[in-house]
Structure 1
Amino acid sequence: MPIISTAGLARTYTGRSGPVEAVRGIDLTVRPGEILGLLGPNGAGKTTTLRMLTTLLPPTGGTATVAGHDLVKDPAAVRRRIGYVAQSGGLDPQETVRSELVLQGRLYGLDRTRATARAEELAVDLDLTELLDRPTPALSGGQRRRLDLAMGLTHRPEILFLDEPTTGLDPGSRADLWALVRRLRDEHGTTVVLTTHYLDEADALADRIVVVDQGTVVAEGSPAALKAAHGAATLQDAFLAITGRGPAPVDTTPVAV
């Protein structure tokens, strides 16, 4: 059974000049323990789709189940089973790393002792131990992003949604995050859905790619399958061909006869 399933999932906004179809009908199936890369140009509907799947934005059409629960009828049950790391974190400038993590645990129903233990466990996993007593405004960009991830993992979610998780990170921090995502899948069976504009990141991490353009799914498959289908040497070349942002490259590899 899929852990995420949508049919015709849609979101229309009412603007001054009339309705705007941000998502026109997404049909999506995600398997348990899969890393799914959700790709698309700016304005394609990726973030809107993630915000609907995480119950932050009600859909205006279609249906969806997440972790076995109906997105509209039982949003509270969905929220208990998922973690969400948005493009911009929501850290409190008045708090330390430790207090942020403990508070997150308390919000998910842990008593103070268990919340404190979970904070220290996450600090080890995400290399935050030496930063536990540092105020959040004193963190670097990479440290802030690791704290955002730790907060999203506090309740050990079955599904983790990551919206452009490595934007602004240095290469070392990006590599560390990639390793963490793979470990979540391999050691804990966590399903990960991520959006990214780094095509090398999607190629390296995703088991399967779904390309969204103008609010609908226009292609899906493994990175290797998408490259092969478009005669592309890189996922970026395949993406450009799929979305019409550039021609498919010509394969000049000699053919054996």
Structure 2
Amino acid sequence: MDSPHGAAVKAEDFGLKGPRGWAFRGVGIDARPGSLIAVEGPSGSGRTCLLLALTGRMKPTSGHAEVGGHRLPKRMAAVRRIAALGPVCGVNELDQALTVAEQLREGALLQRRYEAPLRALLRPRGERRASSRARIEAALDAAGLDLATLPKGPRTSVRDLERLEAVRLSVAIALLGSPRLLALDDLDMKLSDAERAEAWALLRSVAAEGTTVLAVCSEAPDDALVLRTGPAEPAAGQDTDTDTDTDTENDDDTKGADDALAEAGRA
């Protein structure tokens, strides 16, 4: 029997600490291939850092994780090869100056250049173009993005897309490489309730086809496996009164996440 396409995601006491505090810590999960995983928490709580760490883009400092059989932090490069990352501010973003067609062609070109075997690169140009068109059409279909419905069709500028359309385009570009793990940041940002429901329905369909999905959000759906980020819970019997030390620690957690994201942007 063939092994599942999606990547299993496991973590135990997973954490990342920067110069000014923890970005996240104590994370644990055991998700099967094809799972829908939501990283839930308020902005600044380290949720994007957790996304980047689980996709091999940031090096954790405590505990361990395993993605598709590749152990982190030892095999970060191997995890990056099987995990497709959607837009992350300052790290990996859609190019607002391109049209939708240009963004898709650029994505297909990068996939062919960096992931295809040498013999594929030596195929006749017409055959390569036909293959790219087929991959783009399949990815658009999976992402539910019909270019004919856009204001200027495929010549629509990326900057003119509605937020949900940009999400669908990001998913399509990520799926061009047939990833085992699809990771998206700020999924529900600037979406109405109806649009949020559509976005989660899209990710459910991707997961149903076997690809593991990891999405950062402010509010997770009931059917997702949830990783929550934010200030650590107090231990049993610990005084829960708010005091100066606690406020400083929580502020350091936020600063730690900001530091880690800034470092990822420079990488």
Give the TM-score normalised by the residue count of structure 2: 0.68
What is the aligned counterpart of 2:136 among 119, 124, 128? 119
Question: CA separation in 2, counterparts of 1:194 and 1:5?
Answer: 15
Q: Choose between structure 1 and 2: higher strand proportion.
A: 1
What is the aligned counterpart of 1:13 among 9, 18, 28? 18
State whether residues 5 and 65 of structure 1, in contact with CA within 8 Å, keep that contact through their aligned partners in structure 2: yes
Q: Structure 1's 169 and 55: CA in aligned 2 closer, same or farther, altered over 3 A?
A: same
Question: CA separation in 1, counterparts of 2:53 and 2:10?
Answer: 13
- Give the secondary-structure state (helix, strand or coil) at the position aligned to 2:172: helix
User: Do residues 148 (structure 1) and 157 (structure 2) align?
Assistant: no
Displacement of 1:214: 2.2
**Which structure would you say has the larger RCO, counting Cα contacts within 8 Å and 6 or more residues apart?**
2
Match of 1:107 in 2: 110
Q: Structure 1's 215 and 82: CA in aligned 2 closer, same or farther, altered over 3 A?
A: farther
Give CA-to-partner distance per residue, 1:197-234, whole Å, 9 cap, x none: 13xx522x41x323333268x9xxxxxxxxxxxxxxxx
Displacement of 1:9: 2.0
Q: Structure 1's 51 and 173: CA in aligned 2 closer, same or farther, altered over 3 A?
A: same
Give CA-to-partner distance per residue, 1:121-176, whole Å, 9 cap, x none: 22333223223222212222222222122122221222222222121123443232
Give the superposed CA RMSD. 2.6
State whether residues 27 and 227 of structure 2, in contact with CA within 8 Å, keep that contact through their aligned partners in structure 1: no
Give CA-to-partner distance per residue, 1:52-105, whole Å, 9 cap, x none: 111221112222221111233332321221122245471223322122112112
Q: Percent identity?
A: 29
The alignment of Structure 1 onto Structure 2 pairs a total of residues equal to 208
State whether residues 105 and 154 of structure 1, in contact with CA within 8 Å, keep that contact through their aligned partners in structure 2: yes
Q: Choose between structure 1 and 2: higher helix proportion.
A: 2
* Pairs within 5 Å for 1:6-155: 6-14=11-19, 19-88=20-89, 90-109=93-112, 111-125=128-142, 126-130=144-148, 131-155=153-177
What is the aligned counterpart of 1:210 among 206, 210, 227? 227
Instruction: Name the amino acid aligned to 1:8.
Output: D
